[in-house]
Structure 1
């Protein structure tokens, strides 16, 4: 949507004021526009990406003869020498298809992508922050896409019958140890990262690349923004949960700080939980993003300190509670370096990160600690073979040094693991209609002293000018959950085999996608116990083994229309899931307590040009989840009632000279439906209580003020508004 894209440009403050304006249109040989083609001046940082109609514009302060380059995956690169002398340059460029025409074939079965390198754009940062009911949280929006289950009492992505532990979050190729704020029983936590940090979001529903591992079900791939221009700006935000401020200097350095306290938010609406200490905390971050000739460096570092306390029902006695309090400190640093040579035929990507997370807990009258630390390094090389066929070979490796520990009631449990992997992947085009990708990944974990080898395969076939079939299959490994490794380090990897068939059509701003899948689980950890305890926070008991197993199968539907309604955008998703597994302390193979058979959502957004306001609505329906009682035999389980939610949002933009004010408000669960997420039981299993959302209905509002340089695209945005 043009208006939403314009708003994104305003908030991002892109481009620098320049002497020469360069604009034009990019099309194929038949005159069809090529959105998201990349246009740049070689040897400089100046350039742009074509919009949905193939149009582009940017400015440069370079002078004299320069080489202009136009590239797009699936097309032969175009080059033209231009003279920059302050006079506007207008170009019409026609690109010639190469054998791997992206308009025809994209090897991405099982993946929803949103990067500027793929034509099948699904999610952009503005999509995330303007989706009602998601609270500008990346994971919450991903839950509205096909394949994801909505689980309201726990943070994380639950994908196609998989638990939250089966999905990993990856930033610039690096696994994030703590992507969410510290967990509290039955209170889901937000993700730690701002959507505007990322230029692309790819949500895997299975069958993902050999470059990634340690996830039985899914990976959420986040790619950080490249450096955008040389401008400086100051930003401050104020809402019902806190205040934050940031400063960007010359486009390469950004520092931010914030304080949060949800007391004003809780004061407006009654909560279903009794907080002893209102959640509050502070934090800051530092970002470095710099371009060099044929290379770039990105560094992101953050620190947060937060605390909360909640009185949770115990049911040992009538109306009895116990205190669960937490003081959390978290630090995370992620650095990535990218370099290319040999006229772009070789690309090297290196990355490193360090994370440290500590929870100081008080559970009833007992003190406890949770601690985890991860250092990792990653090195990847890619070789492009020929500009016309676009075949690539990628290989590399990674190393992780991981420490996990829990201290409770005087007992200390600890894990030290040195996890390493090597991988290689080739993508090649057999014809203009058929593409293939084959990968192989090997892993080793010292904590269990085991190794594995995992093959991956993807195929794509052109079924028409705008349609394609895709197929993906492979094996995926993951270490057992830490609670099991604390007790038994002789366990083996858990694994899952994926098979996915996808059909997709993208035409005139409309996307239709359907996918069928089958997933088989092997070597899941199973506990040999004499009874079933439904407490999800219990510590394992009984003899452990890798005798567990299971399956998940079903289909997804997705439709999105960005053009039929002027300045409007909507999408509809539906997922059907049939799954069972024997794992953890389940006595028999059964539907997991976090799995739902039917998931349906509708998202609608409308930009109202006359008042520069965006409004949106989201409706979700999720069928009931199974309820397993204390000592349950799993023969006829209950189900929770269906989860339903209608949410609204609105944001309004005002410009005052060189500053922009954005006012926003959200209303979640408009109808006040009393959803529940299951039950918790007393120690003897005789009493139980409902697991409720934090609030049945919530209202939230705030404002964001940006003061910075007006230039280039910002001026275009000003005129557009």
Structure 2
């Protein structure tokens, strides 16, 4: 009995001793003097610890003694360790954490640009299938961009008309190399089409202002296209419609480290010309042959070598009633041909990433103007242009930390062009050399900046320029960011205006852009305000009498032109609110004036609409295996001018405003392979109707020499219907088509 009592007393004493030996460790964890919840606080190499509450406070007890280390861990903050000494008294420890810098959470500078190569940073994902399923885009990248804010709807000529800039003031790049003549050759009043297959590119960055110092020679905007890497597997593709036939293949090696492929296509609008009531009288329906080939090699060290080459030829002939009383008709015939080659190499060397790209292109456009009287053709005049272009760029990129980087490089752009029109003959040769450096500075997950500078030299102009670029982004609330961008941009005068006797310099523009953006899963809201100031724009006068279809050769005589563009833009995209529906809405307000080319005074440009509204909606119905796509564009009527040269001065003879532009487009995509898990082929049927309501839109006017007669510039056809079938053997892209369409 005594023994049991002694044992009980001992246990009571021991347990009491353990209770009193527990030491309390407590404190507060904060960031910028604000408590942080859910921080794991542990005593290193023990199981003792706690998690902070909503105010950052923590406390726990331990029986440990002596020197120990307290660890504070949270995924959004840098891990902190603190040495403590545990004796016989409670310990109070406070910790101030630093934000964990990581690429996923970091704010991204996006003022002026819309990126579709990195989904976490994208405002508008214009993937190839996204473009193909946008009604009215006709499968063209440039046409799909017309449904984004900042891009003007100009149907009478090709080019990206961005924020009050001409179509030639926005440039297009492939893997960093400038693409000269991205659009096919065409005749006045009819826009050229994209020469490049949309499926060639896996992503794009479209900048309507304030773009990177890595790119130059564009006063208004830049479209940076990124070509695809290795295909997922080998495949064969066919496309058939009343307009074209094409076929191609991609072969992937067994070890999946290289691939090669080619396509060939033929197009002819003759059948559709017979079916539809065209506004344009095609003597020769538009026709063309195109082909391309490619290879892609993945090096053993993870680098990439990519080659792409293409060629195309196109012809067409148009007959219109002559505006001059001495002729019955005016005739224009076109023969165009083009080739383009692009070779790029990307490789990482230690901490450095090297990107090099070289491209070569040749383009020829042969326009023949003539008149007809009593079915006899006469008064023939030829306008022939050709050009050889070589571009080389090398960029070295080094990461400083997870969200900061430094890059720099060199670029050389050589152009050799010739122009012949009647008695006028011009040759133009220029080498533009450029050096650039740019840094991404990530100060925190809430604040980042991009600072760059670009310097150029033109051998033809014999002048240099230095163009600084700066952008800042700040996240002021969850999902909300704001950005500001400034940039100075230079561009050579267009070679077709250059007169060897004129002493010309670079044209320049300054961009100021302010943006507020909210991005959440499936939704994006974007507001942007901008101001652009133009200086040193070229001024021109006619050097050939206006004798054929209002065709004039103008020559620049000074750089005294100037102008401005300012505006507001709104963009909203929503894939979440309505099941299986993806839609976006964009609005652009533009106030712009210019005194350039042959404008006698400062005028609103004839390519700038004050208000533009676009809407795109896509609905996929799984039960029907069908996608239904709608798009609508409204643009306030643009101004037009009849400007002529009198007594060596340019004067406005007639001016006015076009009717408002309206177009509703509709397309259907049928995917018969839906649900076939073992499908070895992917088939899609496409039905597209442009301008469903048949609105008679007008792009401008042509005037006679005396101004007494005029004719409208209109689309070749008011309403157009396209039917086609596309088949891919060896790979089923059905799910990709569905996912990218929602």
Aligned residues: 624
* Structure-2 residue corresponding to 1:497: 510
> Which secondary structure does the structure 2 equivalent of 1:339 belong to?
strand
Q: Quick one: distance in 1 between partners of 2:160 and 2:526?
A: 21
Q: Does 1:454 align with 2:467?
A: yes
Q: Distance in 2 between matches of 1:467 and 1:228?
A: 36
Report which stretch shifted further, 414-423 or 289-298. 289-298
Note the C-alpha offset of 1:124: 1.8
Matches within 5 A, 1:377-416: 377-387=392-402, 390-416=403-429
Deviation, 1:367, is 3.1
Distance 2:457 2:704 in 1: 41
Pair 1:540 & 2:550 matched: no
Q: Deviations over 1:275-297 (max 9, x none)?
A: 11111121211011221122001
Match of 1:689 among 711, 715, 724: 711
After superposition, the Cα gap between the structure-2 partners of 1:513 and 1:717, relative to the gap in structure 1 and judged at 3 Å, is: closer
Gap change, CA 1:75 and 1:690, over 3 Å in 2: farther
Choose the corresponding residue for 1:569, options 571, 582, 589: 582
Q: Which residue of 2 aligns with 1:34?
A: none
Give the CA deviation at 1:228.
3.0
Are residues 174 and 593 of structure 1, via their aligned partners in 2, closer, same or farther at CA, if it must alter by over 3 Å? same
Check the 8 A contact 1:148/1:160 in 2, yes or no: yes
Residues 529 and 196 of structure 1: is their aligned pair in 2 closer, same or farther, counting only changes over 3 Å?
A: closer
Q: Any idea what SS the aligned residue of 1:158 has?
A: coil
Matches within 5 A, 1:506-655: 506-527=519-540, 537-540=551-554, 544-630=557-643, 637-655=655-673
RMSD: 2.8
Q: How far 1:454 moved relative to its partner? A: 0.3
Distance 1:405 1:530, change over 3 A: closer
CA 1:696/1:648 → structure 2, altered by over 3 Å: closer, same or farther?
same
Q: In structure 2, how many angstroms separate the alpha carbons of the residues matched to 1:300 and 1:75?
A: 45
Aligned residue number for residue 224 of structure 2: 221
Q: Which has the higher contact order (CA 8 A, sep 6+)?
A: 1
The equivalent of 1:8 in structure 2 is none
> Is 1:193 matched up with 2:200?
no
User: Corresponding residue for 2:437?
Assistant: 424
User: Take 2:366 and 2:237, find their aligned partners in 1: how far apart are those partners?
Assistant: 33
Q: 1:709 Cα deviation (Å)?
A: 4.8
Contact 2:106 2:444 in 1 (8 A): no
Q: Which runs of 5+ in 2 are unaligned?
A: 1-35, 39-75, 79-97, 254-258, 371-379, 645-649
Partners of 1:623 and 1:714 lie apart in 2 by 39
- Shift in Å at residue 410 of structure 1? 4.6
Listed as ranges, the gaps of 5+ residues in structure 1 are 1-28, 32-73, 77-95
1:136 is paired with a residue whose SS is coil
Q: 1:305 offset after TM fit, Å?
A: 1.7
* CA-CA distance at 1:693 after TM superposition: 0.7
- Say which of 342, 354, 363 aligns to 1:348: 354
Aligned partners of 2:170 and 2:223 also within 8 Å: yes
Q: Out of 630-639 and 658-667, give the one that drifted further.
A: 630-639
Question: CA, structure 1 residues 116+269, in 2 after alignment: closer, same or farther (shift >3 Å)?
Answer: same
What whole-Å deviation, never above 9, does each CA across 1:526-566 have from its counterpart, x for those lacking one?
1368999999842115x711111100001100000011111
Q: Distance in 2 between matches of 1:247 and 1:453?
A: 45
TM-score normalised according to structure 1 size? 0.82
Counterpart of 1:274?
A: 281
Q: CA deviation at 1:619?
A: 0.8
- Give 1:182's aligned residue: 185
CA distance in 2, matches of 1:108, 1:689: 43
- After TM superposition, give the deviation of residue 249 of structure 1 in Å: 0.7
Distance 2:306 2:123 in 1: 24
Indicate the residue corresponding to 1:83 in structure 2.
none
Are the counterparts in 1 of residues 503 and 557 from structure 2 also a CA contact under 8 Å? no
Residue of structure 2 equivalent to 1:47: none
Determine whether 1:666 maps to 2:688.
yes
Aligned to 2:271: 264
2:131 corresponds to 1:113:
no
The one of 164, 184, 194 equivalent to 1:161 is 164
1:313-356 residue CA offsets vs partner (Å, 9 max, x unmatched): 431128722221111111100111100132xx311000000001
1:604-639 Cα deviation digits (max 9, x unpaired): 000111122111111110001112134596699421
Q: 1:703 aligned to 2:725? A: yes
Q: Is the 8 A contact 1:532 1:586 kept in 2?
A: no
Secondary structure of the residue that 1:628 maps to in structure 2? strand
Counterparts of 1:635 and 1:498 in 2: how far apart (Å)? 33
